[in-house]
Structure 1
Amino acid sequence: MTSDVWLPIAADEIDGLPSPADSGLTYRFWDGGADFPADPADCVFYAVPYMKGMEIAIRPLEAMRSVRVVQTLSAGTDHVEPGLASLPAGVRLCNAKGVHEASTAELTLALVLASLRGIPGFVRGQDAEEWRSGFYPALADTSVLIVGYGSIGAAVEDRLAPFECARVARVARSARTSERGEVRALADLPALLPEADVVIITTPLTERTKGLVGADFLARMKDGALLVNVARGPVVDTKALLAEVETGRITAALDVTDPEPLPAGHPLWHAPGVLISPHVGGSTSAFMPRAKRLLADQVSRFAAGEEPRNVVLTTGG
């Protein structure tokens, strides 16, 4: 039996991994292909293939009887959690905190600015050779609400700082104080939503947040407000969102949708005031170097018998 580390990036492309001779680890490359690289029963550290979906992510888990760490390369872990029940107790599930904040926050600001300033209409105007001048909303002097104030939400606020927003409110699972100020609890949303011009969703997908942005949530948003979702598609009730945007009362910018990928013919594609990007918040040139650094650090900590970083949950706990 070997102590295998399954990586979705070839080990010789990752600087800083412990040497097999010193650590006793054997590196196996698996990026979701049909054939496993070795017996899953010998895997002690499993780095999940990135952006390959739930079916691939959980396929080897049932046979991984020796695994001690499951590491995602995504900020969310919802695509892995359904497969954890088959694992032994004490397995650490870790997310990719530190990998996606910069890219996702960049896209969030791009979606906000593009939506407010009418960029999609300008692109269509250019295609049609039409000069679409006029007055458009600005981000300056607006009130912004960030729902889901973890590392990505904080990174979004960092990038909002130069834009002269009138106010930034923060909401998380529970109330606390951050470096930038008060973070309110989810229970405070009904009072905060009517005050926000831009509502940014960065919360993880959990049983509590699934469908969080439903008919009641959307009805409390002020007329003319913009909803931006860079979290997970099922956090937003698609049917309820369509009902609102089709009236023109609010607009939306979505990097994630439910269903996803959004199928041809779905009404969201052509809903008025909706800007869609194809779940590209984290998949940029910034991803690979950060992912490699994370894997090198986590495997090194594992080889040294240290607790891994970014532990989301421990099985059997």
Structure 2
Amino acid sequence: MSAALHSTTASGTPVFRPKVALAMQDADLRDALFSKRLRSRLESICDCDFSMVIQDFDTTPDEAIRDVDVLLTGWFSPRIDATVLARMPRLKLIAHAGGSVKGHVLPECWEQGIIVTTAAEANALPVAEYTLGLILLAGKSAITASHLYRQRQTKIDRELEFPDTGNYERAIGIVGASTIGRLVLERLRPFDFDVTVYDPTISDTEALRLGARRVSLDELMRCSDIVSLHAPVLPETLHMIGPAQLAAMKDGSTLINTARGELVDHNALVAELEAGRLNAFLDVTSPEPLPAGHPLFTLPNVLLTPHIAGSMGTELHRLAAYAIDEIERYAAAAPQRFPVSLTDLVRMA
């Protein structure tokens, strides 16, 4: 683009007004992402036809996308490949109001110099908050105590029934120093926890900087009271928590999964849970949803939730705000805060 088109005023206010198109699942997602305030903010910095939500490029006429400078994408955006790029010669930025771009942004985008950004950090925040809540509940034996209280419907002697319960000096194991894993580690700092992390991509020094000791997966599973999963799904991480890892966990310990169900061998997990040896807080499963009648729905030592850790409700507005921030930076010729490289794509969930 020319310097004249993309210049800024002395105050740094962008002069260039990019043309933005929305590409995502449907109009319902558009309306969930954009509050009235956020919509007004986007319209103040760009030209955007909110009545058009691209769900399929094949049925979108050329004249609707030919002059688009920015695609603001959301969950279940149609794929952006070489054919689409040929129809959008002015496209320079894909700002994703979501986490992973792996499902819709193809390598051709980077090859043609398109800037790709993501609101993955914004999507990671509620997952980290939810995980912290689960860790604290696990430390207080919340599942067992709730089940026992419901079953007996009388006074529970806490000290007698739960002598080892509490969050002081609890051993917490974090599997994966991903974006979410790092946010969880950050939120664990104020507590009196003994924190370990398993991630083969970081050093001992980096782990200490994150507030944890780096250990092997076997040691983490063996020594932790609570294990929380935050690894991406890759060929090497499929069923990384299998029979051996689950068998190594302490009696009465808790597995938390707010990452991906495919990380865990569910047959092995159900066996351990049915034996009453472990507890589990599961926000994700494989498959998802589970078939009706699956034992995870009824086991008393399981808290099963329907993938609610990630952004939902009001939290979706944060995703849109991050995307708008990136568009604003683009219009002011400023560097993006959360760019995604082709190398990043390989390790995305």
Q: How many residue pairs were aligned?
A: 303
Alignment partner of 1:231 out of 255, 259, 267 = 259
TM-score if structure 1 supplies the norm length?
0.77
**Cα deviation, residue 275, structure 1:** 1.0
Instruction: Find the partner of 1:247 among 269, 275, 282.
Output: 275
Whether 1:168 and 2:176 are equivalent positions in the alignment is no
The one-letter code matched in structure 2 to 1:4 is: V
C-alpha displacement of 1:47 = 3.1
Q: Which moved more, 1:30-39 or 1:86-95?
A: 30-39
Q: Normalising by structure 2, report the TM-score.
A: 0.71
Match of 2:126 in 1: 103
Give secondary structure in 1 for the equivalent of 2:269: helix
The Cα shift of 1:260 comes to 1.4
Question: Which residue among 66, 73, 76 is the counterpart of 1:48?
Answer: 73
State the superposition RMSD in angstroms.
3.6
5+ residue gaps, structure 1, are: 51-55
Contact 1:172 1:183 in 2 (8 A): no
SS state at 1:282 partner: coil
How is 1:9-158 mapped onto 2 (pairs within 5 angstroms)? 9-10=33-34, 13-14=37-38, 16-17=41-42, 19=44, 25-28=47-50, 41-42=65-66, 43-50=68-75, 56-58=76-78, 64-65=84-85, 66=88, 67-78=91-102, 80=103, 84=106, 89=111, 90-120=113-143, 123=146, 130-131=153-154, 133=156, 134=158, 135-136=161-162, 137-158=165-186
Seen in structure 2, the aligned counterparts of structure 1 residues 172 and 309 have a Cα distance that, compared at 3 Å, is farther
Q: Is the 8 A contact 1:205 1:235 kept in 2?
A: yes
Contact 1:112 1:253 in 2 (8 A): no
1:271 and 2:293 aligned: no
Match of residue 184 from structure 1? 214
Q: Provide closer, same or farther for how the CA distance between residues 180 and 87 of structure 1 changes in structure 2, counting only shifts above 3 A.
A: closer
Q: Which letter maps to 1:172?
A: D
Question: 1:256 is aligned with what amino acid?
Answer: V
Instruction: Tell me how far apart the structure 1 counterparts of residues 35 and 82 of structure 2 sit (CA, whole Å).
Output: 24
Give 1:129 deviation, angstroms: 7.2
1:53 paired residue number:
none
Query: Given the superposition, is the C-alpha separation of residues 288 and 233 from structure 1 closer, same or farther in structure 2, using an over 3 Å criterion?
Result: same
SS at match of 2:341: strand
Rounded Cα–Cα distance in structure 1 between residues aligned with 2:53 and 2:284: 23
**Segment of structure 1 superposing worse, 105-114 or 29-38:** 29-38
Tell me if 1:213 matches 2:256. no
CA–CA distance in structure 2, aligned partners of residues 241 and 32 of structure 1: 41
Larger Rg: 2
Q: Percent identity of the aligned residues?
A: 27
Q: 1:270 and 1:128, CA in 2 relative to 1: closer, same or farther beyond 3 A?
A: closer
For structure 2, the 5+ residue unaligned runs are 1-17, 24-29
